[in-house]
Structure 1
Amino acid sequence: MARYICSYLAKAPLEELKPALGEVLKFCNFDIIYHTIDYIMARETPGKVLFSKLVTVEVLIDSTTATNQGIQVNLVVKNDELPLQNNNHCRQLFERLQQTLAQDHQWKLVANVPT
């Protein structure tokens, strides 16, 4: 299973954070399939790759430690594909998601842990 993890510090009010995350996910061709107050699960739109390569994104919003400097957001990007190649489909979508977040001034990368 390919899995890539990163943490961001979002400089946005909590009530604006989920809609902003939803827009980023939709821009990267992910459909939100489940969400709660502090959790979003999205899956890559089917049709372009094999089912086993479909990527899932889990977004964990840590609202309990929110400060004036921001809210920590953890992203887990994964699929059922074995990461036999360094540049696999899951990694490509992970990097696209990171690039999209980096273009927005309200996000600051805290940690990037590819596994």
Structure 2
Amino acid sequence: MKNIAPSITRKRLLIEGYYSREIGEHEVEEFLTSIASKLSLKFYGSPIVHVPESLGKEENQGFDAFLPLIDSGISIYVWTKSQFFAIVLFTCKNFSSETAIEFTREYMLASEIVSKDF
């Protein structure tokens, strides 16, 4: 992908995987604030968590959440039936992808995990 705005610092990381711990609204909120703190990313609001129960397809039920950062934000999507998650970190500040991936692996008790920087 061509970098059409080289003067703007951007770091993006996608992490996906299967989790094996209990995940509820509290854990989603805790994950977002904990990963931000672990990566020294400052947030300016509380996590916004949506639980669209009974809306859409049953296999897509779970959580959609966002944490606003001073330098952009972190989103997480959780499919509870499949025990699958997808996380997108988008910042205007550099952070360690390896630290983010390892923290996610440990927090989610991930049995399988993949990631991509872009």
TM-score, normalised by the number of residues in structure 2: 0.60
Q: How does 1:1-115 map to 2 (within 5 A)?
A: 1-13=10-22, 16-27=23-34, 28-29=36-37, 30=43, 31-37=45-51, 38-44=63-69, 46=70, 54-63=71-80, 66-67=81-82, 71-79=83-91, 81=92, 89=94, 91-92=95-96, 94-104=97-107, 106-115=109-118
Deviation at 1:105, TM superposition (A): 6.5
Q: Deviations over 1:67-94 (max 9, x none)?
A: 4xxx110001102x3xxxxxx61x43x4
Distance of 2:98 and 2:109 partners within structure 1: 18
| Count of residue pairs the alignment pairs up | 91
Label 1:62 to 1:25 Cα distance change in 2 as closer, same or farther (>3 A): same
Gaps spanning 5+ residues in structure 2: where? 1-9, 38-42, 52-62
The runs of 4+ residues in structure 1 deviating greater than 6 Å are none
How much identity, in percent, do the aligned residues show?
Answer: 7
Unaligned runs of 5+ in 1: 47-53, 82-87
**1:32 is paired with a residue of what secondary structure?**
coil
Q: Which amino acid aligns with 1:58?
A: S
Alpha-carbon distance change, 17 to 106 in structure 1, aligned in 2, over 3 angstroms = farther
Q: CA RMSD, aligned part only?
A: 2.5
Which structure is higher in strand share? 1
